[in-house]
Amino acid sequence: MSLRTSTCFSNQFFDVPAATNFRHRRLTGSHSIRRPCLMMSHDNNYHADSKINSSSLLSAVTNLLWGRSLPPGVLVTTVRTAWNSTWQLMMSQIAPSDSTGGYSRPASKFRFSDSPASGPLHLYVGLACPWAHRTLIVRALKGLEEAVPVSVASPSDDGSWEFKRVSGVDTDRVIRPSLDNANGCKTLKEVYKLRRGGYDGRSTVPMLWNKDSKDVICNESYDIIQIFNSRLNGLASNPELDLSPPELKDKIEEWYKVIYPNVNNGVYRCGFAQSQEAYDTAVNELFSTLDELEDHLSNSRYLCGDRLTLVDICLFTTLIRFDIAYNVLFKCTKKKLYEYHNLHAYMRDIYQIPKVADTCNFQEIMDGYYKTLFPLNPGSIRPIIPSTSEHETLCRPHGRESLSSSSTTPMFVK
């Protein structure tokens, strides 16, 4: 083995700076390449100018343990096996899977029964979460901001939700993380634990809380948006807006059965797949559904026709995260949303409804995905936001007004 090969091996895996390699050549000589690197410490010159950085130290330890003739394949195989096992262990914590490696989302624990949502209510959300985002949008469109105050949690280092004020670069227009304004807790887990009978399960957002009885009313977004749409009209400043009118209920349900498994949860099925087979199934179902939606939206302003409904809100919160998070982090790579002309315009149409943009905090969304989902992005480096997902681009004309008749234009708060 030549010194060159040996050095190349070090560089390839441990990024040894050129200066270190030069020093090594000087010390070991071209015929003594098996001499362990740590022996260099006997050389005075080495000590004189030594500022060992972490990569050269790692290289030295590797050489001491395995010698310089270790074939790269052994090291790669060892690290890969260790990393795969760790990855699988961590994935099983954040994303339980079925026998094929497909993501199996745990059911929400607190579903809303038919009893009225009474008592002073409080909403807990996190801004990265697409499920919580649905509730923020319906709350805003119905004008429930005063009737249902909100606390905005932030992701903590271990992936759970905590309350802290976060300063950012966004303008005041956009909703930001906050403290717990209802219970003064430090974490969402503490809030869940306050409920009568306690609680030790998953502490998820969104969560609707009753301040009087100190209990969780519901932690399933689809239920919460229905409560906001029709159960709190006496408290809403825009009660006339009905996002689930009786004549469209069947259509809404039909579309929800398509978009929930294939798009809303479909992106998670791609990102959390633990086998190639599970990923292939999820990604094909996702993109064939997006193709179908692209086609449908070529002649329909919203999913159920001329009126915005709850199912549009459910689709929107996934679409708005698509190019900034799912396309990259969850490997939803076949196309960017921007490449879907109708879907992108449809997304801009909804984004431009008064108050909706204020619920979209892109910095928080990107931090929430790239910094929190550690097993998918171990370096926690957050990529730059694509220009096609910036506020200015999303405010460009969408041209979809012509698809609906003016008489049925929904009543949005101006």
**From residue 82 to residue 111, what is the string marking binding to ligand GSH with x (rule CB under 6 A)?**
--------------------------x---
Give the CA angle between residues 310, 311, 317 to the nearest 5°: 95
Distance CA 147, CA 124 (A): 14
Distance CA 148, CA 120 (A): 8
Choosing from 37, 103, 124, 129, the catalytic residue is 129
- What burial letters (b/e) apply to 208-245, b meaning 16+ CB within 10 Å? bbbeeeeebbbbbbbbbbbbbbbebeeebeeeebbbbe
Q: Is residue 203 involved in binding ligand GSH (CB under 6 A)? A: yes
Taking the least distance from each CB to ligand GSH, the nearer of 180 and 349 is 180
Taking the least distance from each CB to ligand GSH, the nearer of 102 and 206 is 206
- What burial letters (b/e) apply to 53-76, b meaning 16+ CB within 10 Å? eebbebbbebbeeeebeeeeeebe
Kindly indicate which of the ranges 170-178, 196-204, 274-282, 371-379 contains the residues binding ligand GSH, using the contact rule CB under 6 A.
Answer: 196-204
Give the residue, chosen from 162, 180, 220, 294, that forms a contact with ligand GSH under the rule CB under 6 A.
220
- For ligand GSH, the binding residues in 122-161 under the rule CB under 6 A are 129, 131, 160
If we measure between CA atoms, which residue out of 287, 269, 286 comes closest to residue 278? 269
CA dihedral sign, ordered 185, 189, 192, 195: negative
Taking the least distance from each CB to ligand GSH, the nearer of 103 and 279 is 103
Q: Is residue 332 involved in binding ligand GSH (CB under 6 A)? A: no
Kindly indicate which of the ranges 116-124, 200-208, 326-334, 375-383 contains the residues binding ligand GSH, using the contact rule CB under 6 A.
Answer: 200-208
If we measure between CA atoms, which residue out of 122, 146, 125, 143 comes closest to residue 134? 125
Q: State the nearest-atom distance from the C-beta of 167 to ligand GSH, in Å.
A: 23
Q: 268 an active-site residue?
A: yes
Provide the 3-class DSSP secondary structure of residue 378: coil
Q: State the nearest-atom distance from the C-beta of 261 to ligand GSH, in Å.
A: 12
Kindly indicate which of the ranges 84-92, 167-175, 198-206, 342-350 contains the residues binding ligand GSH, using the contact rule CB under 6 A.
Answer: 198-206
Q: Is residue 365 involved in binding ligand GSH (CB under 6 A)? A: no
Q: State the nearest-atom distance from the C-beta of 317 to ligand GSH, in Å.
A: 10
Distance CA 24, CA 10 (A): 11
Kindly indicate which of the ranges 8-16, 117-125, 201-209, 392-400 contains the residues binding ligand GSH, using the contact rule CB under 6 A.
Answer: 201-209
Distance CA 149, CA 121 (A): 7
Helices (runs of H) and strands (runs of E) counted in the chain: 16, 5
Q: 124 an active-site residue?
A: no
- For ligand GSH, the binding residues in 162-181 under the rule CB under 6 A are none
Taking the least distance from each CB to ligand GSH, the nearer of 188 and 345 is 188
Taking the least distance from each CB to ligand GSH, the nearer of 37 and 150 is 150
Cβ pair 36, 24 in contact under 8 A: no
Give the residue, chosen from 206, 266, 271, 375, that forms a contact with ligand GSH under the rule CB under 6 A.
206
Give the residue, chosen from 34, 202, 257, 341, that forms a contact with ligand GSH under the rule CB under 6 A.
202
DSSP 137-192: HHHHHHT-TTTS-EEEEEE-TTSSEE------SS-TTS------TTT--SBHHHHH
Choosing from 46, 199, 268, 338, the catalytic residue is 268
Q: State the nearest-atom distance from the C-beta of 370 to ligand GSH, in Å.
A: 14
If we measure between CA atoms, which residue out of 288, 389, 385, 291 comes closest to residue 340? 291
Identify the burial level of 94 via C-beta atoms within 10 angstroms of its C-beta, where 0-12 means exposed, 13-18 middle and 19 or more buried.
Answer: middle
Taking the least distance from each CB to ligand GSH, the nearer of 37 and 311 is 311
Q: Is residue 221 involved in binding ligand GSH (CB under 6 A)? A: yes
Q: State the nearest-atom distance from the C-beta of 67 to ligand GSH, in Å.
A: 46
Tokens of 191: 């809030």
Q: State the nearest-atom distance from the C-beta of 315 to ligand GSH, in Å.
A: 14
Q: State the nearest-atom distance from the C-beta of 65 to ligand GSH, in Å.
A: 39
DSSP state of 268: H
Tokens of 110: 């607190």
Q: Report, in angstroms and rounded to the nearest whole number, the Rg of the chain calculated over CA atoms.
A: 27
Kindly indicate which of the ranges 190-198, 202-210, 320-328, 352-360 contains the residues binding ligand GSH, using the contact rule CB under 6 A.
Answer: 202-210
Number of residues that bind ligand GSH (CB under 6 A): 11
Q: Is residue 309 involved in binding ligand GSH (CB under 6 A)? A: no
Catalytic residues: 129, 268
Binding site for ligand GSH (CB under 6 A): 108, 129, 131, 160, 202-206, 220-221
